Amino acid sequence: MSGDDPDDQDGDDEGGQALIVRPNTRPAVAGGAPAPKMELAASLSTARPRTFVHIDGKGQVRSPARYKALMAVTYGTAGALIAGVGIVYTLALGLPGALFGLGLGAWFSFAIRRQLRLNEAVPLGP
Q: pLDDT tens digit string along 21-52? A: 556 554 554 555 555 677 888 888 888 887 88
For residue 46, CA distances in Å to 5, 39, 51, 65, 98 come to 54, 12, 9, 15, 49
Whole-model pTM? 0.57
pLDDT in tens, 52-88: 888 888 888 888 888 889 989 999 999 999 999 999 9
28 located within any domain: no
11 located within any domain: no
Domain hosting residue 108, numbered range? 64-121
97 located within any domain: yes
- Position 53 scores a pLDDT of 84
87 located within any domain: yes
126: confidence class by pLDDT, cuts 50, 70, 90:
very low
The mean pLDDT value for 117-125 works out to 64
111 located within any domain: yes
Residues 6+ apart with CB under 8 A from 101: 82, 83, 85, 86, 87, 89, 90
Q: Quote the number of domains for the chain.
A: 1
